[in-house]
Structure 1
Amino acid sequence: MENLSTKDIVEKYGFKFTKSLGQNFLIDNSVLQDIVESADVGENDVVIEIGPGVGTLTRELLKKAKKVYAIELDSDLLPILTEELKEFNNFELIHKDALKVDFNEIIGEEKSVKVVANLPYYVTTPIIAKLLTEKYNFKSLTIMIQKEVGERISSAPNCKEYGSISLLVQYYCDVQVVRKVSATAFLPRPKVESIVIRLDKLSEPKVKVKDENLFFKIIRNSFNMRRKTLWNALKSLNLSKENMEVAFMKASIDPKRRGETLSIEEFGKLADCVHELL
């Protein structure tokens, strides 16, 4: 039986897109193949797909993976997915909001778990943050996201895209940009371009810090007030002037610099020096 395209499935079921759920389904087969290829899914891998839509990408993943768990919020898509993918016995559909899922319940004892997703733009950052900060045991995350967010995630110090999301992701993962994706690759067509990136989870975080919460608090403060110096950005830590001077001196960092100029290693060093004084 010939596989139906995304457009065909949408028409077959008379599916109506819900704008508030940020639904943009992939209709470009070359992008689909690039996602599957870059996710590098094999017969020993368990895949968690977030937002399967009408199941076009899911079908390709099911052909390769040991098992695919698809997490879908829209109840209108459940009968479509169940019908279109009924031939696969390695498919499990979970009707939930991905932001409220305990991924450990899915992962269990599995050794090789890969996350693949065409993420709705409005939940991209919260889902990435959840997957990384809640320390789930997955190997890689291959996602299609808004181009601007992808550029922020993969950026380095001293560029305007560099920010707290860059450092959060790069603390936990190696980042690889797979490809850019035109708005014409989707139905309905979004107003922005997209990008596919792959995040490979590091066995240890990029830098070793004494207090992760403090490390990320300093990063957030530095980028919340982007145009301010590090000295001003760190005032909210309630350190005395003398202790702030000591922290900057010990970290060998000029307090007149801005957060966007610091590497992840420098933020780590500064956080550890502040930690010693608290």
Structure 2
Amino acid sequence: MTDSLQGHKARKRFGQNFLHDDNIIQQIVAAFAPEQGQLAVEIGPGLGALTQYLLPALQHLHVVELDRDLAARLPQTLAGLGQLTIHQVDALAFNFSQLANQTPQLRVIGNLPYNISTPLIFHLLSHSQSIQDMVFMLQKEVVDRLGAEPDTADYGRLSVMVQYRCQVDWLLAVPPEAFNPAPKVQSAVVKLTPWQKSPYNCVNESLLQQVVSTAFNQRRKTLRNCLKGLASDADFEAVSINPNLRAEVLSVQQFVQLTNQLDSHVST
């Protein structure tokens, strides 16, 4: 596929940066470890850099590609490698759960467009009951946030909600020169594995999302000020959380405990 860039110009509006470093490509595929018969979907196959290795190993692969020109050329580029099912749609609007007959069985991989990576991850989390695991190339800054620990600069809403749903494993760093065109940022590959048995017992996940989002909305303010109207001093005391702390200090477990405490008001 050395000539695969010919005839296609990367489109900035789609956030296209095409991976071409074969060593990096092989490492990503090895980390994903595709096997024949597995149900898998690749987001943003682009010119097929990953797809050319995934498809023969799986024998059947779903791909989600918004760019109609790229979607049209994939069957020719990948002819004879296996059965390719192309969904020419926006990944943010795609129902990933529809591909899975049982749960969790869907495997997801992709070099995600950096301009939509965070909303796309949240969209995928809403389908996590159908997903076995996800391996993504992302901006390194986003990967750092995904796996960040409490009381660090990278820790925030994304960290809490992803870690609530998934185990996060950092896999490898990817330099800008591995892409064409080269992005202005560093990249990294991460594996997200939805919990089969969650370590967190949250009774109201929509309330958890509200609490976390509100708490980090003004992250320099104290929890008492951020959550005014949602949580009282008595609520904080009930779960042994100091209301004068900031959101970035709380662990995922503490957010869950606070949410469960607040939900008890709704339930009674």
TM-score (norm 1): 0.92
Residue 243 of structure 2 is matched in structure 1 by 255
Residue 210 of structure 2 is matched in structure 1 by 217
Contact 1:181–1:193 at 8 Å: present in 2 too?
yes
Hey, what's the Cα distance between the residues in 2 that align with 1:134 and 1:91? Answer: 22
Single out whichever of 200-209 and 168-177 deviates more from structure 2: 200-209
1:157-176 matches, cutoff 5 A:
157-176=150-169
User: Per-residue deviation at 1:104?
Assistant: 2.3
Hey, what's the Cα distance between the residues in 2 that align with 1:211 and 1:111? Answer: 21
Residue 42 of structure 1 is matched in structure 2 by 35
User: Per-residue deviation at 1:88?
Assistant: 2.7
Residue 273 of structure 1 is matched in structure 2 by 261
Contact 1:172–1:206 at 8 Å: present in 2 too?
no
1:32-111 matches, cutoff 5 A:
32-109=25-102
Hey, what's the Cα distance between the residues in 2 that align with 1:135 and 1:181? Answer: 26
Unaligned runs of 5+ in 1: none
Contact 1:124–1:145 at 8 Å: present in 2 too?
yes
1:98-137 matches, cutoff 5 A:
98-109=91-102, 112-137=105-130
Q: State which of 21, 38, 48 in structure 2 corresponds to 1:28.
A: 21
Residue 9 of structure 1 is matched in structure 2 by 4
Give the superposed CA RMSD: 1.4
Contact 2:128–2:165 at 8 Å: present in 1 too?
no
Percent of residue pairs bearing the same amino acid type? 35
1:202-241 matches, cutoff 5 A:
202-237=195-230
| Structure 1 SS opposite 2:234 | helix
Per-residue CA distance 1:10-32 (angstroms, 9 max, x = gap): 12xx1121110000000111111
What is the count of residue pairs matched by the alignment? Answer: 266
Hey, what's the Cα distance between the residues in 2 that align with 1:231 and 1:207? Answer: 23
Single out whichever of 199-208 and 258-267 deviates more from structure 2: 199-208
User: Per-residue deviation at 1:109?
Assistant: 4.2
Residue 182 of structure 1 is matched in structure 2 by 175
Single out whichever of 257-266 and 211-220 deviates more from structure 2: 211-220
Unaligned runs of 5+ in 2: none
Which amino acid letter does the alignment assign opposite residue 80 of structure 1? R
TM-score (norm 2): 0.95
| Structure 1 SS opposite 2:47 | coil
Hey, what's the Cα distance between the residues in 1 that align with 2:199 and 2:188? Answer: 24
Contact 2:55–2:81 at 8 Å: present in 1 too?
yes
Q: State which of 184, 191, 194 in structure 2 corresponds to 1:198.
A: 191
Which amino acid letter does the alignment assign opposite residue 77 of structure 1? L
Over 3 Å counting, the alpha-carbon distance change for 1:111 and 1:269 in structure 2 is closer
User: Per-residue deviation at 1:81?
Assistant: 0.7
| Structure 2 SS opposite 1:139 | strand
User: Per-residue deviation at 1:206?
Assistant: 3.3
| Structure 2 SS opposite 1:48 | strand
Single out whichever of 14-23 and 111-120 deviates more from structure 2: 111-120
Hey, what's the Cα distance between the residues in 2 that align with 1:113 and 1:66? Answer: 15
Which amino acid letter does the alignment assign opposite residue 42 of structure 2? E
Hey, what's the Cα distance between the residues in 1 that align with 2:79 and 2:148? Answer: 41
Hey, what's the Cα distance between the residues in 1 that align with 2:59 and 2:254? Answer: 42
User: Per-residue deviation at 1:205?
Assistant: 3.1
Contact 2:219–2:247 at 8 Å: present in 1 too?
yes
Over 3 Å counting, the alpha-carbon distance change for 1:137 and 1:66 in structure 2 is farther
Per-residue CA distance 1:62-111 (angstroms, 9 max, x = gap): 12114210110001112321111121332111111111111122223486
Hey, what's the Cα distance between the residues in 2 that align with 1:159 and 1:184? Answer: 29
Hey, what's the Cα distance between the residues in 2 that align with 1:189 and 1:161? Answer: 24
